[in-house]
Structure 1
Protein backbone atom coordinates (compact mmCIF):
# COMPACT_ATOMS: atom_id res chain seq x y z
CA UNK A 1 0.00 0.00 0.00
CA UNK A 2 1.31 3.41 -1.02
CA UNK A 3 0.01 6.52 0.76
CA UNK A 4 0.71 9.93 -0.79
CA UNK A 5 -0.04 13.16 1.05
CA UNK A 6 -1.36 16.21 -0.82
CA UNK A 7 -1.66 18.75 1.95
CA UNK A 8 -4.19 19.46 4.70
CA UNK A 9 -6.07 16.15 5.08
CA UNK A 10 -5.90 14.83 1.51
CA UNK A 11 -4.25 11.50 0.73
CA UNK A 12 -4.18 9.16 -2.25
CA UNK A 13 -3.92 5.47 -1.40
CA UNK A 14 -2.82 2.94 -4.02
CA UNK A 15 -2.44 -0.82 -4.10
CA UNK A 16 -2.70 -3.54 -6.73
CA UNK A 17 -3.64 -1.19 -9.55
CA UNK A 18 -6.42 0.48 -7.54
CA UNK A 19 -6.34 4.03 -6.25
CA UNK A 20 -8.62 6.17 -4.07
CA UNK A 21 -8.43 9.76 -2.89
CA UNK A 22 -9.65 10.87 0.54
CA UNK A 23 -10.83 14.44 1.22
CA UNK A 24 -9.56 16.05 -2.02
CA UNK A 25 -9.03 19.68 -0.96
CA UNK A 26 -6.65 20.60 -3.79
CA UNK A 27 -7.53 23.67 -5.88
CA UNK A 28 -8.48 25.65 -2.76
CA UNK A 29 -5.18 24.78 -1.09
CA UNK A 30 -2.11 26.26 -2.83
CA UNK A 31 0.13 23.92 -0.83
CA UNK A 32 -1.43 20.76 -2.27
CA UNK A 33 1.12 20.49 -5.08
CA UNK A 34 -1.28 18.87 -7.53
CA UNK A 35 -4.29 19.92 -9.61
CA UNK A 36 -7.62 18.06 -9.61
CA UNK A 37 -7.18 17.37 -13.35
CA UNK A 38 -4.06 15.33 -12.57
CA UNK A 39 -5.84 12.91 -10.22
CA UNK A 40 -6.57 9.41 -11.52
CA UNK A 41 -8.57 7.30 -9.06
CA UNK A 42 -11.21 4.59 -8.79
CA UNK A 43 -13.16 6.34 -6.00
CA UNK A 44 -13.39 9.53 -3.98
CA UNK A 45 -13.86 8.94 -0.24
CA UNK A 46 -15.16 11.72 2.01
CA UNK A 47 -15.01 11.98 5.79
CA UNK A 48 -17.43 14.95 5.96
CA UNK A 49 -18.75 17.93 4.05
CA UNK A 50 -16.62 20.89 5.10
CA UNK A 51 -15.05 22.68 2.16
CA UNK A 52 -11.47 21.92 3.24
CA UNK A 53 -12.31 18.21 2.87
CA UNK A 54 -15.08 18.11 0.25
CA UNK A 55 -12.89 20.28 -1.96
CA UNK A 56 -12.76 19.06 -5.57
CA UNK A 57 -14.74 15.85 -4.99
CA UNK A 58 -17.34 16.51 -7.68
CA UNK A 59 -14.81 17.50 -10.35
CA UNK A 60 -12.57 14.50 -9.66
CA UNK A 61 -15.43 11.99 -9.55
CA UNK A 62 -16.91 13.22 -12.82
CA UNK A 63 -13.54 13.34 -14.60
CA UNK A 64 -12.71 9.79 -13.50
CA UNK A 65 -16.26 8.43 -13.94
CA UNK A 66 -15.97 7.03 -10.42
CA UNK A 67 -18.18 7.13 -7.33
CA UNK A 68 -18.05 9.43 -4.36
CA UNK A 69 -18.33 7.30 -1.23
CA UNK A 70 -19.78 9.26 1.67
CA UNK A 71 -22.22 9.27 4.56
CA UNK A 72 -25.79 9.16 3.24
CA UNK A 73 -26.73 12.85 3.39
CA UNK A 74 -23.48 13.97 1.80
CA UNK A 75 -23.74 11.26 -0.86
CA UNK A 76 -27.26 12.48 -1.69
CA UNK A 77 -25.98 16.04 -2.10
CA UNK A 78 -23.31 14.77 -4.51
CA UNK A 79 -25.84 12.65 -6.43
CA UNK A 80 -28.04 15.70 -6.96
CA UNK A 81 -24.99 17.50 -8.34
CA UNK A 82 -24.61 14.81 -11.00
CA UNK A 83 -21.93 12.57 -9.50
CA UNK A 84 -21.98 8.81 -9.15
CA UNK A 85 -22.26 7.96 -5.45
CA UNK A 86 -22.25 5.13 -2.95
CA UNK A 87 -23.99 6.05 0.31
CA UNK A 88 -22.81 4.58 3.61
CA UNK A 89 -23.10 5.40 7.29
CA UNK A 90 -21.28 5.01 10.58
CA UNK A 91 -20.46 1.38 11.37
CA UNK A 92 -21.18 0.13 7.86
CA UNK A 93 -18.64 -1.44 5.55
CA UNK A 94 -18.55 -2.28 1.86
CA UNK A 95 -16.22 -4.36 -0.28
CA UNK A 96 -15.48 -2.62 -3.57
CA UNK A 97 -13.33 -3.92 -6.42
CA UNK A 98 -9.87 -4.04 -4.85
CA UNK A 99 -10.59 -2.21 -1.58
CA UNK A 100 -12.88 -2.23 1.45
CA UNK A 101 -14.29 0.82 3.23
CA UNK A 102 -15.70 0.98 6.76
CA UNK A 103 -17.00 4.18 8.33
CA UNK A 104 -16.25 4.89 12.00
CA UNK A 105 -17.24 7.53 14.49
CA UNK A 106 -15.65 10.97 14.46
CA UNK A 107 -16.59 13.80 16.80
CA UNK A 108 -16.86 17.01 14.80
CA UNK A 109 -19.58 18.61 12.62
CA UNK A 110 -20.47 18.39 8.95
CA UNK A 111 -22.10 20.71 6.43
CA UNK A 112 -21.56 21.47 2.76
CA UNK A 113 -21.62 24.90 1.14
CA UNK A 114 -24.04 25.33 -1.77
CA UNK A 115 -23.95 28.91 -2.92
CA UNK A 116 -24.92 31.00 0.10
CA UNK A 117 -26.54 28.03 1.85
CA UNK A 118 -24.88 25.78 4.41
CA UNK A 119 -26.51 22.36 4.14
CA UNK A 120 -26.41 19.61 6.78
CA UNK A 121 -24.25 16.80 5.43
CA UNK A 122 -24.87 13.97 7.88
CA UNK A 123 -22.52 12.81 10.60
CA UNK A 124 -18.75 13.27 10.28
CA UNK A 125 -16.79 10.05 10.05
CA UNK A 126 -13.46 8.31 10.07
CA UNK A 127 -12.54 5.80 7.36
CA UNK A 128 -10.96 2.37 7.69
CA UNK A 129 -9.60 1.57 4.22
CA UNK A 130 -8.28 -1.92 3.53
CA UNK A 131 -6.29 -2.69 0.37
CA UNK A 132 -4.00 -5.63 -0.29
CA UNK A 133 -4.26 -6.91 3.25
CA UNK A 134 -3.20 -3.57 4.79
CA UNK A 135 -5.47 -1.18 6.70
CA UNK A 136 -5.18 2.60 6.71
CA UNK A 137 -7.25 4.65 9.13
CA UNK A 138 -8.11 8.24 8.20
CA UNK A 139 -9.59 9.79 11.33
CA UNK A 140 -11.14 12.73 9.49
CA UNK A 141 -11.67 15.85 11.59
CA UNK A 142 -12.22 14.65 15.11
CA UNK A 143 -11.77 15.24 18.78
CA UNK A 144 -10.22 12.54 20.91
CA UNK A 145 -12.85 10.02 22.01
CA UNK A 146 -12.73 6.85 24.08
CA UNK A 147 -13.92 4.46 21.37
CA UNK A 148 -10.62 4.97 19.57
CA UNK A 149 -9.46 2.24 21.94
CA UNK A 150 -12.14 -0.05 20.52
CA UNK A 151 -11.20 0.81 16.93
CA UNK A 152 -7.61 -0.12 17.77
CA UNK A 153 -8.65 -3.36 19.47
CA UNK A 154 -10.89 -4.47 16.60
CA UNK A 155 -8.53 -3.64 13.73
CA UNK A 156 -4.89 -4.12 12.84
CA UNK A 157 -4.10 -0.56 11.75
CA UNK A 158 -0.94 -0.39 9.68
CA UNK A 159 -1.02 3.40 9.29
CA UNK A 160 -3.24 6.24 10.50
CA UNK A 161 -3.74 9.87 9.48
CA UNK A 162 -4.54 11.95 12.56
CA UNK A 163 -5.36 15.66 12.75
CA UNK A 164 -3.05 17.68 14.99
CA UNK A 165 -4.04 21.28 14.23
CA UNK A 166 -6.06 21.94 17.41
CA UNK A 167 -8.78 24.65 17.54
CA UNK A 168 -11.04 22.77 15.08
CA UNK A 169 -9.84 19.22 15.80
CA UNK A 170 -7.74 17.50 18.41
CA UNK A 171 -4.26 18.91 18.94
CA UNK A 172 -0.90 17.15 19.30
CA UNK A 173 -1.40 16.00 22.90
CA UNK A 174 -4.72 14.33 22.18
CA UNK A 175 -3.48 12.99 18.84
CA UNK A 176 -0.56 11.32 20.62
CA UNK A 177 -2.99 9.54 22.94
CA UNK A 178 -5.18 8.62 19.95
CA UNK A 179 -2.18 7.04 18.21
CA UNK A 180 -1.52 4.88 21.27
CA UNK A 181 -5.17 3.88 21.65
CA UNK A 182 -5.40 2.99 17.95
CA UNK A 183 -2.24 0.87 18.20
CA UNK A 184 -1.18 2.28 14.86
CA UNK A 185 2.21 1.18 13.55
CA UNK A 186 2.70 4.46 11.67
CA UNK A 187 1.07 7.87 11.95
CA UNK A 188 0.84 10.69 9.41
CA UNK A 189 -0.08 14.05 10.98
CA UNK A 190 -2.68 15.96 8.96
CA UNK A 191 -4.93 19.03 9.22
CA UNK A 192 -2.25 21.49 10.31
CA UNK A 193 -0.38 24.57 8.97
CA UNK A 194 -2.92 25.20 6.18
CA UNK A 195 -3.84 28.49 7.84
CA UNK A 196 -2.48 30.29 10.93
CA UNK A 197 -5.07 29.09 13.45
CA UNK A 198 -3.90 25.48 13.07
CA UNK A 199 -0.12 25.95 12.89
CA UNK A 200 1.75 23.11 14.59
CA UNK A 201 5.24 21.60 14.70
CA UNK A 202 4.80 18.23 13.00
CA UNK A 203 8.46 17.28 13.50
CA UNK A 204 8.10 17.66 17.25
CA UNK A 205 4.89 15.62 17.14
CA UNK A 206 6.68 12.82 15.26
CA UNK A 207 9.52 12.90 17.81
CA UNK A 208 6.96 12.36 20.54
CA UNK A 209 5.47 9.45 18.59
CA UNK A 210 8.94 7.90 18.30
CA UNK A 211 9.31 8.05 22.08
CA UNK A 212 6.16 5.89 22.27
CA UNK A 213 7.51 3.38 19.76
CA UNK A 214 5.35 4.63 16.88
CA UNK A 215 6.71 5.69 13.50
CA UNK A 216 5.77 9.26 12.65
CA UNK A 217 5.84 10.59 9.09
CA UNK A 218 5.54 14.36 8.68
CA UNK A 219 5.05 14.22 4.93
CA UNK A 220 5.34 17.21 2.65
CA UNK A 221 2.79 17.50 -0.17
CA UNK A 222 3.64 14.94 -2.83
CA UNK A 223 5.63 12.71 -0.49
CA UNK A 224 4.67 9.08 0.13
CA UNK A 225 5.18 6.14 2.41
CA UNK A 226 4.79 2.48 1.50
CA UNK A 227 3.59 -0.09 4.00
Structure 2
Protein backbone atom coordinates (compact mmCIF):
# COMPACT_ATOMS: atom_id res chain seq x y z
CA UNK A 1 0.00 0.00 0.00
CA UNK A 2 1.01 3.61 -0.48
CA UNK A 3 1.21 5.98 2.47
CA UNK A 4 1.06 9.71 1.76
CA UNK A 5 1.82 12.25 4.47
CA UNK A 6 0.02 15.58 4.49
CA UNK A 7 0.73 18.58 6.69
CA UNK A 8 0.63 17.81 10.42
CA UNK A 9 -1.16 14.58 11.44
CA UNK A 10 -3.08 13.73 8.27
CA UNK A 11 -2.10 10.63 6.28
CA UNK A 12 -3.69 8.77 3.38
CA UNK A 13 -3.43 5.10 2.44
CA UNK A 14 -4.04 3.86 -1.11
CA UNK A 15 -4.38 0.20 -2.09
CA UNK A 16 -6.06 -1.55 -5.00
CA UNK A 17 -7.68 1.66 -6.19
CA UNK A 18 -9.23 2.44 -2.80
CA UNK A 19 -8.23 5.01 -0.19
CA UNK A 20 -8.47 5.61 3.56
CA UNK A 21 -7.57 8.87 5.35
CA UNK A 22 -6.71 9.56 8.99
CA UNK A 23 -7.08 12.95 10.73
CA UNK A 24 -7.79 15.57 8.04
CA UNK A 25 -7.42 18.57 10.33
CA UNK A 26 -7.30 22.32 10.01
CA UNK A 27 -3.56 22.41 9.21
CA UNK A 28 -3.86 19.78 6.47
CA UNK A 29 -4.71 19.62 2.78
CA UNK A 30 -8.14 18.16 3.54
CA UNK A 31 -9.67 18.31 0.06
CA UNK A 32 -6.61 16.74 -1.55
CA UNK A 33 -6.34 14.02 1.09
CA UNK A 34 -10.03 13.07 0.89
CA UNK A 35 -10.37 13.15 -2.89
CA UNK A 36 -11.90 9.82 -3.90
CA UNK A 37 -11.44 8.33 -0.42
CA UNK A 38 -13.94 5.78 0.86
CA UNK A 39 -13.01 5.81 4.55
CA UNK A 40 -12.11 8.44 7.12
CA UNK A 41 -10.70 7.69 10.58
CA UNK A 42 -10.53 10.39 13.25
CA UNK A 43 -8.41 9.93 16.37
CA UNK A 44 -9.96 12.72 18.46
CA UNK A 45 -11.92 15.95 18.47
CA UNK A 46 -9.23 18.65 18.27
CA UNK A 47 -9.41 20.87 15.21
CA UNK A 48 -5.87 20.09 14.05
CA UNK A 49 -7.09 16.50 13.55
CA UNK A 50 -10.59 17.16 12.23
CA UNK A 51 -11.76 20.15 10.17
CA UNK A 52 -15.51 19.62 10.54
CA UNK A 53 -16.61 22.06 7.85
CA UNK A 54 -14.29 20.69 5.18
CA UNK A 55 -15.10 17.09 6.08
CA UNK A 56 -18.81 17.96 5.90
CA UNK A 57 -18.23 19.20 2.35
CA UNK A 58 -16.42 15.95 1.54
CA UNK A 59 -19.39 13.93 2.81
CA UNK A 60 -21.78 15.98 0.71
CA UNK A 61 -19.67 15.54 -2.41
CA UNK A 62 -18.81 11.86 -1.97
CA UNK A 63 -21.62 9.39 -1.23
CA UNK A 64 -19.05 6.59 -0.84
CA UNK A 65 -17.26 8.21 2.12
CA UNK A 66 -17.74 6.64 5.56
CA UNK A 67 -16.15 7.65 8.87
CA UNK A 68 -15.13 6.13 12.19
CA UNK A 69 -14.41 8.32 15.23
CA UNK A 70 -14.73 8.44 19.04
CA UNK A 71 -18.32 8.88 20.23
CA UNK A 72 -18.28 12.66 20.73
CA UNK A 73 -16.66 13.22 17.34
CA UNK A 74 -19.03 10.81 15.62
CA UNK A 75 -21.99 12.73 17.06
CA UNK A 76 -20.44 15.99 15.88
CA UNK A 77 -20.07 14.65 12.34
CA UNK A 78 -23.64 13.30 12.26
CA UNK A 79 -24.94 16.69 13.34
CA UNK A 80 -22.81 18.55 10.81
CA UNK A 81 -23.70 16.23 7.92
CA UNK A 82 -27.10 14.67 8.71
CA UNK A 83 -27.44 13.25 5.19
CA UNK A 84 -24.36 11.11 5.92
CA UNK A 85 -25.31 10.15 9.49
CA UNK A 86 -25.70 6.46 8.62
CA UNK A 87 -22.13 6.47 7.25
CA UNK A 88 -20.60 7.70 10.53
CA UNK A 89 -19.60 4.97 12.99
CA UNK A 90 -18.43 5.15 16.61
CA UNK A 91 -14.91 3.85 17.22
CA UNK A 92 -13.96 2.37 20.58
CA UNK A 93 -10.80 0.68 21.87
CA UNK A 94 -10.42 -2.99 21.05
CA UNK A 95 -12.38 -3.03 17.81
CA UNK A 96 -11.52 -4.57 14.45
CA UNK A 97 -13.34 -3.70 11.24
CA UNK A 98 -12.87 -3.24 7.50
CA UNK A 99 -12.83 0.21 5.92
CA UNK A 100 -12.28 0.80 2.18
CA UNK A 101 -10.72 -2.64 1.90
CA UNK A 102 -8.28 -2.03 4.76
CA UNK A 103 -8.28 -3.98 8.03
CA UNK A 104 -8.44 -1.55 10.94
CA UNK A 105 -7.72 -2.23 14.62
CA UNK A 106 -8.26 0.31 17.41
CA UNK A 107 -6.10 0.97 20.47
CA UNK A 108 -5.99 3.39 23.39
CA UNK A 109 -8.69 5.49 24.95
CA UNK A 110 -7.54 9.00 25.82
CA UNK A 111 -5.48 11.97 24.67
CA UNK A 112 -2.14 12.56 26.36
CA UNK A 113 -2.24 15.00 29.26
CA UNK A 114 -1.58 18.60 28.22
CA UNK A 115 -2.09 20.14 31.68
CA UNK A 116 -4.30 19.23 34.66
CA UNK A 117 -6.44 22.29 33.87
CA UNK A 118 -7.00 21.17 30.27
CA UNK A 119 -9.71 18.46 30.00
CA UNK A 120 -8.57 15.11 28.65
CA UNK A 121 -10.55 13.92 25.61
CA UNK A 122 -11.04 10.51 24.04
CA UNK A 123 -8.34 9.41 21.59
CA UNK A 124 -8.31 6.30 19.41
CA UNK A 125 -5.18 5.01 17.70
CA UNK A 126 -5.54 2.98 14.50
CA UNK A 127 -3.50 0.12 13.08
CA UNK A 128 -3.94 -0.28 9.33
CA UNK A 129 -3.63 -3.77 7.80
CA UNK A 130 -1.65 -4.89 10.84
CA UNK A 131 1.25 -2.82 9.53
CA UNK A 132 0.99 0.93 10.25
CA UNK A 133 0.11 2.50 13.61
CA UNK A 134 -1.25 6.05 13.85
CA UNK A 135 -1.50 6.83 17.59
CA UNK A 136 -3.28 10.17 17.32
CA UNK A 137 -2.30 12.41 20.23
CA UNK A 138 -0.97 9.77 22.56
CA UNK A 139 1.96 7.46 23.08
CA UNK A 140 -0.18 4.34 23.48
CA UNK A 141 1.70 1.23 22.40
CA UNK A 142 -0.57 -1.30 20.60
CA UNK A 143 -0.71 -4.25 22.97
CA UNK A 144 -0.33 -7.75 21.61
CA UNK A 145 0.67 -6.55 18.17
CA UNK A 146 3.93 -5.92 16.36
CA UNK A 147 3.76 -3.33 13.59
CA UNK A 148 6.26 -2.69 10.85
CA UNK A 149 5.64 1.06 10.67
CA UNK A 150 4.84 3.64 13.33
CA UNK A 151 3.82 7.25 12.81
CA UNK A 152 5.44 9.39 15.48
CA UNK A 153 3.98 12.62 16.94
CA UNK A 154 7.25 14.53 17.02
CA UNK A 155 6.09 17.85 18.50
CA UNK A 156 3.06 18.93 20.53
CA UNK A 157 2.06 20.92 23.62
CA UNK A 158 1.80 17.56 25.39
CA UNK A 159 5.12 15.90 24.61
CA UNK A 160 8.89 16.23 24.89
CA UNK A 161 11.82 14.63 23.07
CA UNK A 162 12.31 12.01 25.78
CA UNK A 163 8.75 10.76 25.34
CA UNK A 164 9.06 10.76 21.55
CA UNK A 165 12.17 8.59 21.70
CA UNK A 166 10.75 6.28 24.38
CA UNK A 167 7.67 5.74 22.20
CA UNK A 168 9.83 4.74 19.23
CA UNK A 169 11.81 2.36 21.41
CA UNK A 170 8.66 0.84 22.95
CA UNK A 171 6.90 0.15 19.65
CA UNK A 172 10.04 -1.38 18.06
CA UNK A 173 8.74 -0.98 14.51
CA UNK A 174 11.10 -1.42 11.58
CA UNK A 175 10.22 2.03 10.22
CA UNK A 176 9.10 5.33 11.69
CA UNK A 177 7.78 8.46 9.99
CA UNK A 178 6.82 11.83 11.50
CA UNK A 179 3.36 13.22 12.12
CA UNK A 180 2.10 16.09 14.28
CA UNK A 181 4.90 18.43 13.25
CA UNK A 182 3.21 21.59 11.91
CA UNK A 183 4.10 23.60 15.03
CA UNK A 184 7.87 23.04 14.86
CA UNK A 185 10.34 24.86 12.63
CA UNK A 186 13.25 23.40 10.67
CA UNK A 187 15.75 23.87 13.51
CA UNK A 188 13.56 22.05 16.01
CA UNK A 189 12.77 19.34 13.48
CA UNK A 190 16.47 18.70 12.98
CA UNK A 191 17.03 18.28 16.72
CA UNK A 192 14.09 15.97 17.34
CA UNK A 193 14.57 13.87 14.23
CA UNK A 194 18.31 13.63 14.78
CA UNK A 195 17.69 11.99 18.16
CA UNK A 196 14.94 9.80 16.68
CA UNK A 197 17.22 8.58 13.90
CA UNK A 198 20.24 7.94 16.11
CA UNK A 199 18.58 6.34 19.13
CA UNK A 200 15.79 4.66 17.19
CA UNK A 201 18.47 3.01 15.06
CA UNK A 202 20.05 1.50 18.17
CA UNK A 203 16.80 -0.38 18.75
CA UNK A 204 16.23 -1.42 15.16
CA UNK A 205 13.91 1.37 13.99
CA UNK A 206 14.79 3.32 10.86
CA UNK A 207 13.39 6.83 11.22
CA UNK A 208 12.84 8.79 8.01
CA UNK A 209 11.58 12.33 7.49
CA UNK A 210 8.64 12.87 5.13
CA UNK A 211 7.62 16.21 3.66
CA UNK A 212 3.92 17.06 3.18
CA UNK A 213 2.74 15.38 -0.02
CA UNK A 214 5.53 12.81 0.00
CA UNK A 215 4.57 9.16 -0.42
CA UNK A 216 6.21 5.84 0.45
CA UNK A 217 5.32 2.23 -0.36
CA UNK A 218 4.74 0.09 2.71
TM range (shorter): 0.7 to 0.9
| 5+ long unaligned stretches in structure 2 | 114-118
CA distance in 1, matches of 2:60, 2:183: 26
Q: Which residue matches 1:113?
A: none
Residue 219 of structure 1, CA deviation: 0.2
Superposed, 1:10-159 pairs within 5 Å as: 10-25=10-25, 28-29=26-27, 32=28, 34=29, 36=31, 39-55=35-51, 56-65=54-63, 66-82=65-81, 83=84, 84-105=87-108, 107-108=110-111, 123-130=122-129, 134-142=130-138, 144=139, 148=141, 151=142, 154-159=144-149
Residue 97 of structure 1, CA deviation: 4.6
Residues 88/207 of structure 1: CA separation in 2 closer, same or farther (3 Å cut): same
**SS in structure 2 of the partner of residue 177 of structure 1:** helix
Residue 140 of structure 1, CA deviation: 0.4
Contact between 1:69 and 1:86, CA under 8 Å: does it hold in 2?
Answer: yes
Residues 195/210 of structure 1: CA separation in 2 closer, same or farther (3 Å cut): closer
Q: Which residue matches 2:215?
A: 224
Contact between 1:71 and 1:90, CA under 8 Å: does it hold in 2?
Answer: no
CA distance in 2, matches of 1:121, 1:100: 28
CA distance in 2, matches of 1:176, 1:163: 10
| 5+ long unaligned stretches in structure 1 | 111-119
Q: CA RMSD in A?
A: 2.7
**SS in structure 1 of the partner of residue 72 of structure 2:** helix
Residue 70 of structure 1, CA deviation: 0.7
Q: Which residue matches 2:152?
A: 162
Among 188, 209, 216, the residue aligned to 2:200: 209
